[in-house]
């Protein structure tokens, strides 16, 4: 397809969306910084996406689809301005630099919001947060804990040569200098080289674990401050300020119990590319009660400074809206071992009776949300299984009619990417999901979007969960577009309702105790190795799904206690 120049592409996007071009249009043509208040459009700030060669009918009536007719109330949120993904600016707004930063929030127990922020060793910051119902009067304060850690880095090839650039990266020349010990591993008096002396050239840089003898391959974290705000009232807006930070942030404490409509943002496999940046700000524009993130946050992959750059990128959303998550393989593999994830993004596991910080549950509005760990044992003799069984037996359907499960690796996936990786866990837990009437199962891992019909053991049935794979948040590995056919010559499996290899984000709006509207919106495509930010009319090269050209998917999820005793 013919490419528009940057300027003309931006103008075309603005015209398509009926956006007025103000005097701030000058910001669309340079690298000037802009904030959410400046009014410059995010479309102009996607120029950090890099080019790279990449591997490449009408719906039939169904008995398991809703019979009632509804009109969608969805309106695509305006693009919210942001700094370019290549410029994750460290906070400089404080009296005594270096300033605190990487501010983010997540729910704790009932009436609790957990505030986490970072500071440098030379900072005067304490684990202190001031807060109140008025920005002019932060009359309350809370103190918390501080934690630091050190880890041996892992050198992942995506750090040097990502499919899509974004966040902290480096060249092989820079990595070689860090891997070399020639600047210190010798006797300065005699010149004698210690056994730990080595010089690494750029051509020798490869994917491997760092060397414990070399301090240059060690990561020392900033101070991670965790403060729990307690006694918060549902539906009330609070303003807060972390120590040694001149900025103030506000959040609304999510409603409890059956309050409708109840809006939830959904995303997975986010990373820190220009697409990731865009996805987070589109989620912020939805003004949800909270966001559920199905794992794979920073894509640090063992180069731990990327947790810091992720924290800066995510702050515009994460400091204002609680983001609740489960771990993915990128929090587990490449020597990550959940260390950075658990230190920075604590979930309410203890409050839900879990002994593992990587699986938890909580009543959130009219939902009971259960987050599972795809990378922990799940069999009947495991801690996770026994905890889950007890949790599902105890949750109150009258208080929280909607039962939502979140995990990383999908049970139902018709994409070639990561095919069958959750087979063992699926065998362990699918029957438990059905027995207790799980309504929605969210997953990621596969870098594409797919929604199923209600399905149980490969058969569609109205009383089964709807499985939604949203691993399309924008990470650096690109979109997965190779879809598998169904049986007997069918284009797709009978349980697959919609699938597409693109980037996007989603919204789940619970309308009442029986109906929820799910909306997925394409954010960008991956066309011949280039990120294409024309969501209304782009397509990912090689996408062989019948939905490849559709830019959204809007559907209703129905909970019927009368037809389905397991959901009563």
Q: Which CATH number goes with the domain that contains 430?
A: 3.60.21.10
Active site residue 418: yes
In this structure, are 472 and 370 located in the same domain? yes
DSSP string, 495-520: TEEEEESSEEEEEEEE-SSSEEEEEE
Q: How many domains does the chain have?
A: 2
In this structure, are 195 and 336 located in the same domain? no
Instruction: State the pLDDT at residue 529.
Output: 83
Instruction: State the pLDDT at residue 307.
Output: 96
Instruction: State the pLDDT at residue 88.
Output: 64
Contacts of 380-386 with CB under 8 Å at 24 or more apart are 380/428, 382/428, 383/355, 383/356, 384/356, 384/359, 385/428, 385/429, 385/432
In this structure, are 334 and 191 located in the same domain? no
Using the 3D structure, point to which of 167, 193, 220 is the last residue of a domain: 220
- Distance (Å) of CA 201 to CA 174, 183, 303: 10, 14, 19
Render pLDDT for 155-166 as a digit per residue (tens, 0 to 9). 999 999 899 988
In this structure, are 343 and 267 located in the same domain? yes
Instruction: State the pLDDT at residue 90.
Output: 86
Rounded distance between C-alpha atoms, residue 558 and residue 168, angstroms: 43
Query: What phi, psi does 225 have (nearest 5°)?
Result: -100, 130
**Enclosing domain of residue 539:** 260-567
The answer as to whether 103 is a domain residue is no
The answer as to whether 267 is a domain residue is yes
In this structure, are 428 and 345 located in the same domain? yes
Instruction: State the pLDDT at residue 411.
Output: 98
In this structure, are 167 and 309 located in the same domain? no
In this structure, are 561 and 434 located in the same domain? yes
Rounded distance between C-alpha atoms, residue 148 and residue 564, angstroms: 49
In this structure, are 307 and 204 located in the same domain? no
Q: Which of 418, 436, 445, 447 is catalytic?
A: 418
Residues in the chain predicted with pLDDT less than 70, given as ranges, are 1-88
In this structure, are 202 and 268 located in the same domain? no
- Distance (Å) of CA 568 to CA 207, 391, 403, 414, 550: 51, 16, 11, 30, 35
Instruction: State the pLDDT at residue 168.
Output: 80
The answer as to whether 117 is a domain residue is no
Rounded distance between C-alpha atoms, residue 538 and residue 12, angstroms: 13
The answer as to whether 479 is a domain residue is yes
The answer as to whether 162 is a domain residue is yes
Using the 3D structure, point to which of 220, 249, 278 is the last residue of a domain: 220
Render pLDDT for 464-506 as a digit per residue (tens, 0 to 9). 999 999 999 999 999 999 999 999 889 999 999 999 999 999 9
pTM of the model: 0.86
CA angle 278, 279, 282 (to 5 degrees): 85
In this structure, are 194 and 270 located in the same domain? no
In this structure, are 155 and 303 located in the same domain? no
Tell me the H-state helices in 460-502.
Answer: none
Q: Helix, strand or coil for residue 379?
A: coil
């Amino acid at each position: 397809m013919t490419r528009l120049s940057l300027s003309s592409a931006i103008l075309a996007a603005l015209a398509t969306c009926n956006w007025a071009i103000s005097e701030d249009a000058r910001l669309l043509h340079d690298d000037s910084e802009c904030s959410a208040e400046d009014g410059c459009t995010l479309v102009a700030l996607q120029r950090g996406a890099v080019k790279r060669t990449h591997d490449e009918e009408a719906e039939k009536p169904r008995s398991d689809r809703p019979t009632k007719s509804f009109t969608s109330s969805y309106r695509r949120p305006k693009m919210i301005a942001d700094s370019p993904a290549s410029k994750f600016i460290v906070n400089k707004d404080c009296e005594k630099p270096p300033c605190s930063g990487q501010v983010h929030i997540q729910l704790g127990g009932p009436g609790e919001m957990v505030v986490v922020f970072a500071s440098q060793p030379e900072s005067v910051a304490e684990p202190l947060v001031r807060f109140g119902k008025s920005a002019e009067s932060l009359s309350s304060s809370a103190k918390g804990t501080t934690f630091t850690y050190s880890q041996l880095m892992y050198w992942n090839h995506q750090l040097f040569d990502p499919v899509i650039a974004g966040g902290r990266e480096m060249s092989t020349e820079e990595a070689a200098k860090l891997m070399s010990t020639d600047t210190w591993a010798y006797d300065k008096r005699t010149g004698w080289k210690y056994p730990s002396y080595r010089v690494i050239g750029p051509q020798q840089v490869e994917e491997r674990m760092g060397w414990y003898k070399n301090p240059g391959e060690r990561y020392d974290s900033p101070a991670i401050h965790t403060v729990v705000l307690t006694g918060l009232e549902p539906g009330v807006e609070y303003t807060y300020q972390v120590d040694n930070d001149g900025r103030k942030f506000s959040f609304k404490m999510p409603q409890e119990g059956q309050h409708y409509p109840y809006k939830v943002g959904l995303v997975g496999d986010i990373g820190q590319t220009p697409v990731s940046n865009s996805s987070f700000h589109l989620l912020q524009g939805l003004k949800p009660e909270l966001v559920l993130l199905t794992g794979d946050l920073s894509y640090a992959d063992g180069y731990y400074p990327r947790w810091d750059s992720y924290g800066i990128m995510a702050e515009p959303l994460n400091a204002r809206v609680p983001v609740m998550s489960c771990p993915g393989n990128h929090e587990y593999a490449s020597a990550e071992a959940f260390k950075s994830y658990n230190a920075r993004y604590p979930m309410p596991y203890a409050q839900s009776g879990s002994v593992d910080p990587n699986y938890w549950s909580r009543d959130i509005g009219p939902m009971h949300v259960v987050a599972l760990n795809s990378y922990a044992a799940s069999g009947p003799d495991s801690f996770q299984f026994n905890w889950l069984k007890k949790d599902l037996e105890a949750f109150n359907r009258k208080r929280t009619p909607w039962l939502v499960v979140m995990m990383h690796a999908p049970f139902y996936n018709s994409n070639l990417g990561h095919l069958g990786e959750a087979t063992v866990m699926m065998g362990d837990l699918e029957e438990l999901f059905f027995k207790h009437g799980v309504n929605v199962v969210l997953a990621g891992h596969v870098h594409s979007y797919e929604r199923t019909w209600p399905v149980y053991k490969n058969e569609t049935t109205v009383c089964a969960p709807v499985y939604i794979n949203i691993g399309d948040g924008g990470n650096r590995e690109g979109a997965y577009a190779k879809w598998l056919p169904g049986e007997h010559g069918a284009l797709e499996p009978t349980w697959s309702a919609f699938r597409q290899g693109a980037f996007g984000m989603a919204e789940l709006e619970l309308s009442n105790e029986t109906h929820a509207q799910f909306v997925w919106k394409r954010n960008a495509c991956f066309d011949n190795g280039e990120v294409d930010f024309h969501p209304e009319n782009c397509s990912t090269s090689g996408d062989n799904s019948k939905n490849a050209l559709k830019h959204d998917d809007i559907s209703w999820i129905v909970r019927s206690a009368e037809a389905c005793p397991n959901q009563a």
